[in-house]
Structures are given as structure tokens and as C-alpha cells.
Structure 1
Amino acid sequence: MARNTQVIFLGINDAGMRVYDWLCDQEDVFVHSLLTTKDQLRVVENVEPDYIVSCGYRHIVPKDILDIPKEGCLNLHPAHLPYNRGANPNVWSIIEGTPAGVTLHYMDAGIDTGDIIARRKVETDFSDSGKDLYERLEDTQVELFQDAWPDIISDSISVTEQDEDAGTYHRTSEFEDLCKLDPDEEIRVKELLDRLRALTFPPYDNAEIEIGGETYYVEVDITRE
């Protein structure tokens, strides 16, 4: 393959930086830019890269930008699509018992709805906190991309079209609502523990409850015998 395969990378989180660094080390790839904000996307118009690769990017990419790369736009999402499109997939896998995993897919005008290139499940355990699962999902995203990249650039992949009516989708506002604990809510113990462990992500204070005019933050630590 020619040495001038040009990539523009979109990302900001730990997994994104690891994928970015790995791509930069590939002799047959030139990573032109690392973009983290929406107003930087006009760089894509100037460069007209072969690929956009996205991992951890926090903004919706407009269709006119998605149409520019010659070979397409790839996104790593820390969910086993079509489950848990959108925000906080690690949390919702625990809350709803949906499959946890990661997916590499083509980007389209929807949110995590593009054709699937590769995906991989990640095992879960009742002792997992939201942070535990998040970190395993990050590791698996990096591994999946490294495994899939040679087939992508050699044009030897087959894709799976997503059914947009299947799976699940969650907004950031749903996570914010989940964080607010109602002291008068009646709930099964297992459901409460799932909720609390999904929201346990130190050093962040997620689950909160107001008692006697004071706000308290709640975490759990579940261990096997």
C-alpha cells in the first residue's frame, strides 16, 4: 500500500489517544491532525483525507464533513451495537443487562447507526463498577481497531447494516436523571445495587441523594467472597 494514506483523527479520551498514537506509529499512514472541537472540523475540507477515524469525540459530525473522506469515516463506540447507542454505554449495560462490548462502524448522519465493520463483546461481572467496565471497554476498543485496521485499508472487510429500530439509545439527560436518588423510591435490592455500581466512577461524584436538606454522594464496592 502507498505510504500516503491520510487520516484525520477525532478524539479526546484515553482510548482515543491510544488509537491515535498507534496510527501515528504506522509507517504506511500519515495522521494529519488530531481534532477535539467542533470548530476544527473545517480542517477536513482543506485536507480531504482518505479516512476520518473517531474515538472519544464528543460532537456530532455534520453530513457535509462525513462526505469528504475518500474511503469513509470510522468510529469506535464503547458498546455492542445496536445496544447502547449514544451516551454512557457502560452505565446502561449494567443497568439494563444489555450486552457490553465495543463496535467499529462507519459514521453516518445518525448517532452510532452506521454499518458495522467489527464488534467484540466484553464480559461483565456483578462486582463491576461503571469505571471497571469503562476501562475494559477502552482496552477492547484499542485492540479491536488494531485488529481491524489491516483489513480496512486492504479493502477486505464486509459490513453489517444496522436495524435502526433494534437495540437501545440513551441521552446524557437520562444519565443525569439516573444520578438523582429518590429517598422515598421503592426498589428491589439488586436493581439498586446495579444502579449504584453503574454510577460508581471515582473520582467523580455521580449518585446523589438529599436527606434533611443535605446532599450526599453514594458509591458501592462489591467484592466476591
Structure 2
Amino acid sequence: MTEAVDALKVYLVGFKANLVTALFLDNAAIQEINLQGVIYVGRSGSLLAVATRLFLKGRVNATRAMLITNWWPPVPAVDAVSTDDGQLEAILREKGDAVFIVCGCDRILRAAHLSQGKFVNFHNSILPGNRGVAAIKWSKFNGQPVGFTFHTMAVEIDKGEVLYQHAVAQDLQARGFPVLSELLATRAAQVLPHLIEILQGLRSSVRFKKEVSSSYHSKADTEHATRVLKDMASSELIEKIVFAFEELRLVNESGDVLRLAPVHVRRPAGVWGKLFRQIDLLGAEIFLPVWLVKRARGFSCRR
């Protein structure tokens, strides 16, 4: 690694209970950049509960990453910083001239924050397509390639200069959200040394070879897309929504949820897992009563 790359101070900005942040920190490539520390934004979640849930689902590597992030971080950490009272702004100012790589942070950074250094965001879509939330799911729903973008941050959400883009292999595009999310975060962490060299002017930016149409989706857009009136629920529409969003709410005219569709591709182990694997064989249009969904791990029960 060149001396110029070593001279660039880097901080990660993430969320402590977020798997993307954890996978960035636990990747071997993190040792190849001049990482000074990690800043955790927002309140910490129930860390032990998150790690236990990942372990029970068989995601041993993710569990290990979560534990390392929270109890054995490889770099100094600033914990549970608020974005609303000037606390984050003051911490960023203390770090001086540095690059802040935002990965897995669910808080919006304002102009006062972005003025304190150079900010680069990891977004899990090929921008300018599918800005906003649930980007992987919207990419699948819109028939666009699933991938990620590193870009400089601006006040507008998920806008800025594209620095590096990558799409997963075609044969992996149809995988479920948990698998794709982990694949993208792992690959993004691996290219961090390359990203730093782009920021230093030592390499050219890497853009996806095909243009993706611009779009933005809010949380409300995603919730609306997964709610379908019972009388309008064709099998083709159901299949498309369940494939992309891995959840679907069948509602009546008053908006009450009648039935919920199965969500995650990875099923729980044990009796529940065997039962729902059999249900899956019957097709995506099979719905379960709300009360039963609430008892089943791996199924959505949000209303």
C-alpha cells in the first residue's frame, strides 16, 4: 500500500446493531486502510439479542461480526451519538481532516455534519436507481441489477459523485434479501482499499457499465407496494411482490390486514422450519393467518 493511502485518515460511521456496519469492521480489508475509529450513530439496540438471533439462524459469521463490533472492536469507538443536538457535529469537528465512510447508518446527516469532512456513503443499489429505503428489494421489483454504490454525500439523499459501483453475478440476483445484503456488504468492505485510492486520485472511479434509470422510494412507498386489495390480488402480482419484497399484506377495502405471505428465503431450523418449507412448496400465493405468522420466526408480522 502506498504512503499516500496510509496518510488518509478514515473513520466509519455506522449503527451498532446493524449487520452492514459489523461486516465492514470484521473484513480483513479494513486492515489495509488507515482506519482511525468508528462512530456509532443513534441508540444501541439489544446487542445480545441480535447476536443470539443471528446465531440461531445459523449465520455464524454474522454473529461473530456482531460480537466483535460490540465487545472487541478492532479500533476505538464512539458510542450512541445523537444527530439532533450538535453532538455528532462536535465529534466530527474534533477528527479534523478525514474521510468518513457511512455504512449501515439509518440516520440522515445534515449539511452541518457533512461540512466537517469528506463523507462517502455505501448504498445498496446501482445509483441513480432506487435511492432511499429497501433498495435491494426495489431493484428486484423494478427488474434492475442488484448491487451497491460508494458515492460522495450531498444534502439530497443518496446523491453525489459516484466513486465505485458493483453488481452481483447474474445467477445470484434472485437470492433473498438476507443473502444479498450480506453479499453486498462483504464485497463493499473488500474494495475499501480501492475506494481510498480513488479518493486519493490514484485510481479512476468505477461505474456500472449500463445506465440505470433514476428513482427514489420512501418507507411509505415500500409499505404501499406490499399492500394489495384482496379482490385485485392476481397470482402474477403476488408472485412479483413476494419475490422482490419477501412480504405481502393482503387487505380488505378498509385496510385491515387479512393474511400475510411468507418472507425470508432462509427458514428457521427445527419443527417450524420443516412446516414452512412444506408450505413454500405449495406456492407463493399461500397465505397464513396473522395470528400464526406472529408465532413463526422468519415471517413478517408488521401491520
TM > 0.5 between the two? Answer: yes
Select between 137-146 and 20-29 the one with higher mean Cα deviation: 20-29
2:146 counterpart residue number = 100
**If each structure's strand is expressed as a fraction of its own residues, which one has the higher value?**
1
Q: Which residue of 2 aligns with 1:76?
A: 122
1:217 pairs with 2:263: no
Q: Which residue of structure 2 aligns with residue 194 of structure 1? A: 240
> CA 1:53–1:120 in structure 2 vs 1: closer, same or farther (change >3 Å)?
same
Structure 2: distance between partners of 1:33 and 1:139: 17
Say which structure is richer in helix.
2
Q: What are the ranges of 5 or more consecutive residues in structure 1 without an aligned counterpart?
A: 201-205
Aligned-residue Cα RMSD (Å) equals 3.2
SS at match of 2:154: coil
Once residues 145 and 33 of structure 2 are traced to their aligned partners in structure 1, the CA distance between those partners, rounded to angstroms, is 35
Q: How many angstroms does 1:160 deviate by? A: 7.8
Aligned residue pairs total 211
Question: Structure 2, unaligned stretches of length 5 or more?
Answer: 43-82, 266-279, 282-303
Structure 2 residue 60 is the aligned partner of structure 1 residue 17:
no
Distance 1:52 1:67 in 2: 11
Deviation at 1:24, TM superposition (A): 9.4
- Write the deviation string for residues 107-129 of structure 1: whole angstroms up to 9, x where unpaired: 11111111011101123557533
2: distance between equivalents of 1:47 and 1:218? 47
- Give TM-score scaled by structure 1 length: 0.78
User: For the residues of structure 2 that align with 1:111 and 1:147, how far apart are their CA atoms?
Assistant: 24
Aligned residue for 2:182? 135
Aligned partners of 1:24 and 1:31 also within 8 Å? no
The alpha-carbon deviation at position 137 of structure 1 amounts to: 2.4
Alignment of 1:83-162 (within 5 A): 83-124=129-170, 127-149=174-196, 151-152=197-198, 154-159=200-205
Answer whether contact 1:75 1:107 (CA < 8 A) is retained. Answer: yes
Structure 1's 152 and 26: CA in aligned 2 closer, same or farther, altered over 3 A? farther
1:56 Cα offset (Å): 1.1
Alpha-carbon distance change, 50 to 195 in structure 1, aligned in 2, over 3 angstroms: same
The whole-number CA distance in structure 2 between the counterparts of 1:86 and 1:14 is: 18
- The answer to whether the 8 A contact 2:29-2:189 is kept is no
Contact 1:76 1:104 in 2 (8 A): yes
Quick one: distance in 2 between partners of 1:147 and 1:4?
15
CA shift for structure 1 position 136: 2.7
Contact 2:139 2:145 in 1 (8 A): yes
- Post-superposition offset of 1:145: 2.8
Determine the C-alpha separation between the residues in 2 that align with 1:23 and 1:132. Answer: 20
Q: Which residue of 2 aligns with 1:6?
A: 9
Distance (Å, rounded) in 1 between the aligned partners of 2:142 and 2:258: 26
Q: 1:177 is matched with which residue?
A: 224
Q: Deviations over 1:166-190 (max 9, x none)?
A: 511111111111222321115461x
Note the C-alpha offset of 1:214: 6.5
Identical residues among aligned pairs (%): 21
Amino acid at match of 1:209: L
Change (3 A) 1:137 1:127: same
Q: Deviations over 1:42-91 (max 9, x none)?
A: 2112222411110111122112221221xx21111110111111111111
* Secondary structure of 1:79 counterpart: coil
Shift of the 153–92 alpha-carbon distance from structure 1 to 2, 3 Å rule, reads closer
* CA distance in structure 1 between the aligned counterparts of 2:154 and 2:262, rounded to whole angstroms: 37
Given the superposition, is the C-alpha separation of residues 152 and 23 from structure 1 closer, same or farther in structure 2, using an over 3 Å criterion?
farther
**Which structure has the bigger radius of gyration?**
2
Identify the residue that residue 208 of structure 1 maps to in structure 2. 249
